[in-house]
Structure 1
Amino acid sequence: MSNDAHFIEGLRSGEKTVLQEIYNQFFAKVKTFVLRNKGAVTDAEDVFHNALIQIYIRLKKRELEIKSSFEAYLFTTCKNLWRRELNKKRVTKQEVVELEDKETENAFALLEQEQWELYIEKFQLLSENCRKVLTLLFNGTSYEEIVETFSYSSKVVARQRVFKCKAKLTKLIQGDAKFSKIKKL
């Protein structure tokens, strides 16, 4: 049994030794991420705990398909949960407080995770050039730098390439049956 399968089965069955292994192996990375992004150790513990609960719920409801590694999946789940938490804190600071129960919060987090997984799955189907162009763009690279990197003749050409790549990605996502299911939720 692979390490990933070991973690998944241990989580599904609630084996305390496997849960401890998961914590020992992966918590430090999540803690570092949360601390670097305006959080405290208790925030990291909450995010890690909530991610494990979310994965457990998914394992109980249906088969969970992890395309990368358990570690990458868990870390992405934690990052998404922490991002949601930061967004809630930002809203709270603006004096707009919306109370949500934990079940609703978990449902939203699960939906967000499913959207992210669909995006990554379809992103991988793009050409290498499109993946590189969009990665640069999503990381805040200017069109001037994209022109330089790919030796395009102008910013107009770079914008056209970005548009075509985004359109292709959108078409791939919207053409998937999972998109229709997620959209209905």
Structure 2
Amino acid sequence: MNPDKKEQILLSGLANNDSKCIEIIYENNFSTIQAFILNNNGSYDDARDVFQEAIMILYEKSKLDSFALSSQIKTFLYAVCKKIWLKRLQSRGKYAINLDASVIENTLVQNDDIENARQQDIDFNIMEAALEKLGEPCRTLLKAYYIKKKGMGELAEMFGYTNTDNAKNQKYKCLMRLKKLFFAQYNKLNEDE
């Protein structure tokens, strides 16, 4: 199915409270938001709250006839969650940043951000393809470390490595393979343009 068509079906399903579409949106996007918030002074509960707020914003927008999503759903949700989270961090005094309130309040990806959003979509898609090509056990190992935040001791135990140094070494090798796959596709894409 055409990716744009799939996005429109999911958006329409969200607007119509289709539980399957909502579940797919959660499954496809929550782990990215969770990783972002956990890496930026947040907790799992913070990630759930922020993600839920972003879903509600997308839901409200999807009900408007005038709303046209100019990026992928994951890019929209990431941009919204990032703005919400930065505002919360600023209010907690944990993140010193000068953000104009109007910028924070406006949760739509603006014209200036559209090109960045599109590039981010391309980069996400290239990374997903690179992860698929990477194969096992590297894919599972990198997801366990970077997304699920497993420590080296846990990785050593999960994958049967004799110690944490071996786990760290294998993670490094997997990461280098992933980078090689990513940049091979990225450079090929840029040559074709």
Question: Would you say 1:36 and 2:48 are equivalent positions?
Answer: yes
Letter in 1 for 2:83: E
CA distance in 1: counterparts of 2:11 and 2:181, whole angstroms: 36
CA distance in 1: counterparts of 2:122 and 2:152, whole angstroms: 30
Scaled by the length of structure 1, what TM-score is found? 0.62
Question: Would you say 1:146 and 2:163 are equivalent positions?
Answer: no
Q: Which residue of 2 aligns with 1:69?
A: none
Deviation of residue 6 (structure 1)?
A: 11
2:81 is matched with which residue: 83, 98, 106?
A: 83
Letter in 1 for 2:181: L
Deviation of residue 176 (structure 1)?
A: 1.3
Deviation of residue 102 (structure 1)?
A: 1.4
Classify 1:142/1:172 alpha carbon distance in 2 versus 1 (closer, same or farther; 3 Å).
Answer: same
1:38-77 paired onto structure 2 within 5 Å: 38=50, 43-47=54-58, 49=61, 53-55=69-71, 74=73, 76-77=74-75
Identity of aligned residues (%): 15
Q: Which residue of 1 aligns with 2:5?
A: 8
How many residue pairs align between the two structures? 155
Question: Would you say 1:131 and 2:139 are equivalent positions?
Answer: yes
Ranges in structure 1 where 5+ consecutive residues have no aligned partner? 12-16, 56-72
CA distance in 2: counterparts of 1:9 and 1:30, whole angstroms: 11
Deviation of residue 46 (structure 1)?
A: 3.4
Deviation of residue 105 (structure 1)?
A: 2.5
Aligned residues: CA RMSD: 4.1
Ranges in structure 2 where 5+ consecutive residues have no aligned partner? 34-46, 104-108
CA shift digits 1:102-141 (9 cap, x unpaired) = 1012332222222111111100111210011111101210
Classify 1:145/1:52 alpha carbon distance in 2 versus 1 (closer, same or farther; 3 Å).
Answer: farther
CA distance in 1: counterparts of 2:10 and 2:137, whole angstroms: 41
Letter in 2 for 1:104: D
Classify 1:22/1:7 alpha carbon distance in 2 versus 1 (closer, same or farther; 3 Å).
Answer: farther
Aligned to 1:167, the other structure's residue is in SS state: helix
Scaled by the length of structure 2, what TM-score is found? 0.60
Classify 1:91/1:114 alpha carbon distance in 2 versus 1 (closer, same or farther; 3 Å).
Answer: farther
Asked if the contact 1:7/1:22 (under 8 Å) is kept, the reply is: no
Letter in 1 for 2:155: I
